[in-house]
């Protein structure tokens, strides 16, 4: 199991953070995702056999947010 913690740009309200959390949780291979609006952090636990960080980033970006690392 792997874990990444990213700073996310583009979240302006709790609607954004819950939408991003939902997007992350629906990705195949993601076991849990926590998104905190105040600190702009997204913590994602995932199975690296089923999904990689490039795909995770892509999904964050296609949801309208940016990964600042
Ligand atoms: Cu919002």
Q: In angstroms, what is the span from residue 8 Cα to ligand 1's centroid?
A: 13
Q: How far apart are CA 38 and CA 16, in angstroms?
A: 12
Tens of pLDDT, residues 51-62: 999 999 999 999
Q: In angstroms, what is the span from residue 12 Cα to ligand 1's centroid?
A: 5
Q: In angstroms, what is the span from residue 45 Cα to ligand 1's centroid?
A: 23
The b-or-e profile of 7-23 (16+ CB within 10 A means b, else e) is ebeebeeeebbebbbeb
Q: How far apart are CA 8 and CA 29, in angstroms?
A: 20
Tens of pLDDT, residues 1-28: 999 999 999 999 999 999 999 999 999 9
Q: In angstroms, what is the span from residue 14 Cα to ligand 1's centroid?
A: 6
The backbone region for 40, taken as left when phi is positive above 0, alpha when psi lies in -120 to 50, beta otherwise, is left
């Amino acid at each position: 199991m792997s874990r990444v913690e990213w700073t996310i740009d583009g979240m302006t309200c709790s609607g954004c953070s819950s939408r991003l959390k939902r997007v992350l949780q629906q990705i195949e291979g993601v076991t849990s995702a926590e998104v905190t609006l105040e600190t702009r952090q997204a913590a994602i636990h995932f199975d690296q056999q089923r999904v990689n960080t490039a795909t995770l980033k892509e999904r964050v970006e296609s949801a309208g947010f940016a990964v600042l690392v």
